[in-house]
Structure 1
Amino acid sequence: MKVGVKKLMKMSTKARYGLRALIDLASNSQEGPVSINSIAERQKISESYLEQLLAKLRKADIVKSVRGSQGGYVLARDAENISVGDVLRTLEGNLNPVECPLINDEVDCNDEDKCVSKYVWKKVNDSINETVDHITIGELLRR
């Protein structure tokens, strides 16, 4: 079986808009829940698209929805306890920019003993994951 390496690294609209929405939510929720309408308006994001993103973030316990006339969304935990990695994985799934089945021991490869790139791809993937896991929404908010 031939093993291929697939390149993936590109931040999607989901990821960019999701992070923007969370930063907006964090900066505007001191007085209470923030409506989708107000986030969409400030961030120039379609309300229906934003609803889809917030639904995923709600299922992952990153945001909470509050019902009622003064309802909207709030962060489910402190912004310092929500990593960019949490958000990106919720919206994107796997963050590895290179998919090599050998990295995750998914397949056997005839050339595994000679494969130098396996080590390189693993280090690249690990580095990206470690970086996004150490950046918080709170840190982004302060910047």
Structure 2
Amino acid sequence: MKISSKGEYALRALIVLGQHQGGVMSIQEISEKTLVTTNYLEQILLQLKKLGYLQSKRGAKGGYMLGKEAKDVNIGEVIRMLEGPLSPMSCASVTQYQSCPLEQGCLLKPLWSLVRDTIAFVLERTTLEDLLENRIQSWKEEDILDFKSKN
């Protein structure tokens, strides 16, 4: 899994809008705070709106605002919706698995599966509110392995 500029900029925009406490911000204002060009940002904001994360308001004082409470914006979900599967390799993907001719007896697949599970574990437990409140926490290896055994 690689987070593209689109995923990074979408998270930046969500943070800026979350810091604006539910108020409306113009694309220009968001662009200035995220350092993303307005043309590219507009595409990202429209996609976030279609996915229900944002709402828009037309007019001279129009712009964008969060469409959900920050506590209800799951970062793992946002990344999956914008970037696709969290797995670094398709043979280890849960949602878009693709077989590989070397898969039988592959010694790398367990590694890719652990990487996928670790990424999913962290992102699925992180909300926009966590980012806004700077509540990113460290997880213990046993928490991640327990998560892996349940999935």
Q: Which TM-score bucket, shorter chain as reference?
A: 0.7 to 0.9
- Counterpart pick for 2:18 among 19, 22, 26: 26
- Counterpart pick for 1:62 among 46, 49, 53: 53
- Counterpart pick for 2:40 among 25, 37, 49: 49
The amino acid that maps onto 2:44 is L
Deviation at 1:139, TM superposition (A): 0.8
**Paired position in structure 1 for 2:86:** 95
The amino acid that maps onto 1:129 is A
The answer to which of 123-132 and 97-106 deviates more is 97-106
Deviation at 1:115, TM superposition (A): 2.7
Q: How many residues align?
A: 133
**Paired position in structure 2 for 1:16:** 8
Kindly report the root-mean-square deviation, in angstroms, between the aligned alpha carbons of the 2 structures.
2.2
* 2:16 match: secondary structure: helix
The amino acid that maps onto 1:52 is Q
Distance 2:102 2:131 in 1: 44
Deviation at 1:64, TM superposition (A): 1.2
**Paired position in structure 2 for 1:116:** 107
CA contact (8 A) 1:102 1:109 kept: no
Residue 40, structure 1, aligned to residue 31, structure 2: yes
Deviation at 1:137, TM superposition (A): 0.8
CA contact (8 A) 1:102 1:108 kept: no
Distance 1:102 1:59 in 2: 25
TM-score normalised per structure 1: 0.80
**Paired position in structure 2 for 1:3:** none
Unaligned runs of 5+ in 1: 1-8
Unaligned runs of 5+ in 2: 135-151
Deviation at 1:72, TM superposition (A): 1.1
Deviations 1:53-105 (A, max 9, x none): 11111111111112222221111111111111122122212221222268666
* 2:120 match: secondary structure: helix
**Paired position in structure 1 for 2:120:** 129
TM-score normalised per structure 2: 0.76
Q: Cα distance 1:14–1:115, how it changes in 2: closer, same or farther (>3 A)? A: same
Kindly name which structure, 1 or 2, has the bigger radius of gyration based on alpha carbons. Answer: 1
Identity of aligned residues (%): 37
Q: Cα distance 1:102–1:70, how it changes in 2: closer, same or farther (>3 A)? A: closer
Q: Cα distance 1:26–1:107, how it changes in 2: closer, same or farther (>3 A)? A: same
The structure with higher relative contact order (CA 8 Å, sep 6+) is 1
